[in-house]
A and B are shown apart, each in its own frame.
Chain A
Amino acid sequence: MTKEKNNDILSDLLGKITPEEQAKTDKKMILATKIANGIKAKGLKKSEFAEIMGKVPSEISKWLSGTHNFTIDTLFDIERVLSIQLLDTNNWDYYDKYEKVKVSMKSRKPAPIYRLAS
């Protein structure tokens, strides 16, 4: 295959990656990095972290590879063990607050309309 055609393959493959797909991969890689940094910050070896989590070290390597699909339970366990935040559960009542604001807006008396005297 010619060099030009090979270059086309790279451009073609890159062109098919949607921004949503790339954003998802970015998040998985960032998540893996946050966990790796958390292990380091706790002063743990990968094998020690594996033992605490009840996993074999190769499983932890997969977690850190940026390819793993975590369950929510696993992420909560990692958060607890490493004392880090991976999932943002703050502001969970945002929708409730939003509804209250909407209701209070509706219940307000409409502003009076002033007309210029003719």
Chain B
Amino acid sequence: MNFLLKKKTELSGKKATIYTVELTDGTDLFEQFLSENRGDYDDDLSDILQRIRSMATKTGAQVHFFKTKEGKPGDGVCALYDNPGKNLRLYCIRMGNAVVILGGGGPKKTQKLQQDPKLKEENYLLRKVSELITEKMVSKEICFSDDEMELKGEIIDHD
């Protein structure tokens, strides 16, 4: 599995840098999430984008904004909290307060992740991405910038 981490300039700010995952076939997981839920969940999408921008520009990606432990222990896979009464779930990889990698997600229709094939697929895909990022960090193919605000490496696209 190969992928690029693309910096989203329009979502990033002085407190956090936001990346999305682009697979080799050109699929951007976050942009796919937006297009799949456009129309039915416009308000939720708007709310998610507002919260991402608040984190990027005001507060940093504080851990309490996320539902943690959505992946394997310690892999950073988490989900943004659903708005009260809403159930649109977005999976992310949180790397401290300053870096967030956005994945995909979808409407949460069942109590358990295992019962929802779509969410399970998105969740496991991001777990795999996280695993590969960890490997690349160990092998120093990816590292943090000196100010720890960004990621550096061959698979990072800062366009």
Where the two chains meet, the residues of A that have a C-beta atom closer than 8 Å to any C-beta of B are 1, 3, 5-7, 9-11, 13-14, 16-17, 21-22, 25-26, 28-30, 32-33, 36, 61-62, 64-69
Q: Which residues in B have their C-beta under 8 angstroms from that of A28?
A: 54
Contact in complex: B51, A25 (CB < 8 Å)? yes
Identify B49's interface contact among A17, A26, A30, CB under 8 A.
Answer: A17
Would you call B55 an interface residue if the criterion is a C-beta within 8 Å of the partner chain's C-beta atoms?
yes
12 contacting pairs across A/B (C-beta < 8 A)? A5-B35, A6-B31, A9-B38, A25-B47, A25-B53, A29-B59, A29-B65, A33-B64, A62-B81, A66-B81, A67-B84, A69-B84
Q: State the Cβ distance, B78 to closest chain A Cβ, in Å.
A: 12
Q: Which residues in A have their C-beta under 8 angstroms from that of B49?
A: 10, 13-14, 17
- Known contacts A66-B65, A67-B84; 9 additional CB pairs below 8 A are A1-B35, A6-B35, A10-B34, A21-B50, A30-B58, A32-B62, A36-B62, A62-B81, A64-B64
Question: How many angstroms between the C-alpha atoms of A56 and B83 in the bound complex?
Answer: 18
Question: How many angstroms between the C-alpha atoms of A69 and B86 in the bound complex?
Answer: 14
Contact in complex: A66, B51 (CB < 8 Å)? yes
Among all A-B residue pairs, the 3 with the closest Cβ atoms: A65-B81, A6-B31, A64-B64
Interface members, chain B 23-57 (any A CB < 8 Å)? 26, 28, 31-32, 34-35, 38, 42, 45-47, 49-51, 53-55, 57
Question: How many angstroms between the C-alpha atoms of A10 and B45 in the bound complex?
Answer: 10
Identify A29's interface contact among B26, B31, B45, B58, CB under 8 A.
Answer: B58
Where the two chains meet, the residues of B that have a C-beta atom closer than 8 Å to any C-beta of A are 8, 10, 26, 28, 31-32, 34-35, 38, 42, 45-47, 49-51, 53-55, 57-59, 62, 64-65, 67, 81-84
What secondary structure prevails in chain B residues at the interface with A? Answer: helix
Contact in complex: A11, B10 (CB < 8 Å)? yes
Identify A13's interface contact among B26, B46, B67, CB under 8 A.
Answer: B46
Contact in complex: B58, A26 (CB < 8 Å)? yes
Q: Which residues in A have their C-beta under 8 angstroms from that of B57?
A: 26
Question: How many angstroms between the C-alpha atoms of A36 and B62 in the bound complex?
Answer: 9
Contact in complex: A65, B46 (CB < 8 Å)? no
Contact in complex: A61, B64 (CB < 8 Å)? yes
Identify B28's interface contact among A6, A16, A69, CB under 8 A.
Answer: A6
Question: How many angstroms between the C-alpha atoms of A13 and B83 in the bound complex?
Answer: 17
Question: How many angstroms between the C-alpha atoms of A66 and B57 in the bound complex?
Answer: 15
Question: How many angstroms between the C-alpha atoms of A28 and B62 in the bound complex?
Answer: 13
Q: Which residues in A have their C-beta under 8 angstroms from that of B28?
A: 3, 6
Q: With a 10 A CB-CB cut-off, give which of B57, B64, B67, B83 has the most chain A CB atoms.
A: B64
